[in-house]
């Protein structure tokens, strides 16, 4: 019985040593990739900002708010009139659903292609 326990403990120690070696190897490879990859984070951030700005400027309805400050400004305009506020929210919701409906087929098609791969 003691030899069985000793064998089990030796097996667990061996497994843990292998696990630590794998962890060390993965950290070393990750560090190598990070240090050798030439990525300019400022350029990436600027490209993402430009893409978002382009998407926002493509909106067909300039009356629909796009940012939090625009939402707050519009809420202040109709602060005393809940009926007008509900009317605007309804109109903007319809516009948003239409916009999403136009975008959905492209997203579904790209997702289906990715799943096939």
24: three-class secondary structure by DSSP: helix
- Residue 20: CB atoms within 10 A of its CB come to 10
Percent of the chain with pLDDT over 70: 84
Angle (CA) 16 21 23, round 5°: 95
CA 9 to CA 3: how far, in whole Å?
10
SS3 state at 67: coil
* Confidence category of residue 51, pLDDT binned at 50, 70, 90: confident
**pLDDT at residue 44 is higher than 70:** no
- 66 or 3, higher pLDDT: 3
- Estimate the share of the chain in helix, then strand, then coil, as percent rounded to the nearest 5: 85, 0, 15
Average pLDDT of the chain?
77
Taking only the tens place, the pLDDT of each residue in 64-105 is 777 788 878 888 888 888 888 888 888 888 888 887 777 777
Average pLDDT over residues 112-117: 74
> CA–CA separation, 96 vs 61, rounded Å?
10
Rg of the chain's alpha carbons, rounded to an integer? 28
Neighbours of 76 (CB within 10 A): 8
pLDDT for residue 61 is more than 70: no
């Amino acid at each position: 019985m003691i030899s069985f326990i000793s064998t089990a403990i030796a097996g667990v120690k061996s497994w843990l040593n292998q696990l630590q070696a794998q962890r060390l190897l993965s950290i070393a490879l990750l560090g190598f990739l990070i240090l050798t990859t030439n990525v300019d984070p400022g350029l990436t951030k600027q490209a993402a900002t430009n893409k978002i700005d382009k998407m926002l400027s493509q909106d067909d309805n300039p009356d629909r708010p796009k940012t939090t400050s625009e939402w707050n400004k519009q809420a202040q305009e109709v602060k005393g009139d809940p009926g007008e506020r509900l009317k605007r929210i309804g109109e903007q919701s319809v516009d948003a659903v239409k916009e999403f409906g136009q975008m959905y087929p492209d997203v579904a098609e790209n997702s289906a292609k990715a799943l096939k791969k």
